[in-house]
Amino acid sequence: MDKAILFREEIEDLKIYEPGRPISEVKSEFRLEEVIKLASNECPYPPFPETIEAIKEDISEANRYPDNGCFVLKEKLAEHLNVKTQNLVVGNGSSEILRLIALAALKPGDEAIIPHPSFIVYPTITKLMGGVERKVPLENYRHSLNEMLNRINDKTKIIFLCNPNNPTGTIFYKSEVENFLDKAPRNILVIFDEAYFEYVNDNRYPNGIDYLKNFKNVIVLRTFSKIYGLAGLRIGYGIASKKIIEAIEKVREPFNVNMLAQLAATVSLEYKDEVERRKKFNEEGKTYLYQQFESLGLEYVPTEANFILVDLKRDSRKTFEDLLKLGIIVRPGDIFGYNTHIRLTIGTPSENKKFIEGLQRVAGCRSQVTSRTGVSPVKKFQ
């Protein structure tokens, strides 16, 4: 009799990551000509034209291995961020760097403090290494930094801070995090996950890099997947003390970042004006969607990212499935524990309009605000 294959106990309860449905799959399943995807917090615009041209020119070199140390990109990033190259690590998306941190730092039984709900990778990599997750519920959709401090004990090894937080789009403020860092033990790794950094407008937002000088236990993660439109190439980076970077480099696989991703990221850093334009487009889309939600009597969480968590007061999974049939892909909130919410990526003007029209069809909601009546919109979460 064949014996069962034995896998590590740590993976037994891990859930397979559920990404946003691919456009091609939805087109095929529902026989649709047009499908829009507003599910994965992607940039709705393609890479910069100059980036695309550079990729076309460099593809002929794909028979060679990529630069293992990402030398050119690190030089450009160091200049862009005003840091040293020795303080940088580049990964196959910032998600890979999260996994490498866990691989380098967590031992079985070590604890990680994790905001909940937040990015699903945090508990996954903690469990994978045999660590113990200590979830700290959000308060009014925001990190509770004081409660995180209360959860620290002798076994705490890592604290994850997602700012802006995914899936809520909320931020914690400079005053809050400075108090937090002053009180947290310096032998605990504090990870600032700033994947949506470029979208933030609130002047109370703390730039994690500002704390690297005085807090050697801090690491800041960012990505080219969002505002730069390079999600399909998978490239992100971390900024930290030389000691932290060296530890991560020891467990990094060789050639982990492909040559086209390195080139695309390097070229994209040249176009700061384009980044600002995309930020402006995101703000315009946000304003439009806020107005539509308010006119429909729907509550939403004000966001500092490129997505919005909105409460439809109806089953999120059914809404997700109904919208799929119309060629609109969103993220159901039940996977985050918000059973009546959906998370919506801010798209192009036409995509945002199509979503609102689709939502009105499937949810049966109609505008409550007219120029004649002047009915006040529903109060938003604060």
Digit-coded pLDDT (tens) for 121-177: 999 999 999 999 999 999 999 999 999 999 999 999 999 999 999 999 999 999 999
Q: Is residue 124 domain-shared with residue 54, that is, in the same domain?
A: yes
Percent of all residues in the chain with a pLDDT value above 90, rounded to a whole number: 89
Q: Is residue 73 domain-shared with residue 13, that is, in the same domain?
A: no
Q: Is residue 169 domain-shared with residue 71, that is, in the same domain?
A: yes
Using 50, 70 and 90 to split pLDDT, how confident is the model at 6? confident
Q: Cβ distance 164 to 304 under 8 Å?
A: yes
In the DSSP assignment, the letter for residue 209 is G
Q: What is the pLDDT of residue 1?
A: 53
Say yes or no to pLDDT of 372 above 50. no
User: In this structure, what CATH number is given to the domain that contains residue 39?
Assistant: 3.90.1150.10
> Is residue 381 domain-resident?
no
> Is residue 369 domain-resident?
no
Q: What is the pLDDT of residue 377?
A: 40
Q: Is residue 175 domain-shared with residue 255, that is, in the same domain?
A: yes
Q: Is residue 73 domain-shared with residue 160, that is, in the same domain?
A: yes
> Is residue 343 domain-resident?
yes
> Is residue 372 domain-resident?
no
Which of 9-13, 65-69, 122-126 shows the lowest per-residue confidence on average (mean pLDDT)?
A: 9-13
> Is residue 332 domain-resident?
yes
Q: Is residue 177 domain-shared with residue 326, that is, in the same domain?
A: no
Q: What is the domain count for the chain? A: 2
Residue 238 structural domain? 49-268
User: In this structure, what CATH number is given to the domain that contains residue 171?
Assistant: 3.40.640.10
Q: Which tokens go with 162?
A: 């997602």
Q: Is 123 buried (19+), middle (13-18) or exposed (0-12) by CB count in 10 A?
A: buried
The answer to whether the predicted template modeling score (pTM) of the entire model surpasses 0.85 is yes
Q: What is the C-alpha R_g of the chain?
A: 22
Per-residue pLDDT of 288-324, as tens digits, reads 999 999 999 999 999 999 999 999 999 999 999 999 9
Per-residue pLDDT of 53-63, as tens digits, reads 999 999 999 99
Q: Cβ distance 331 to 363 under 8 Å?
A: no
Using 50, 70 and 90 to split pLDDT, how confident is the model at 371? very low
> Is residue 331 domain-resident?
yes
Is 44 strand, coil or helix? coil
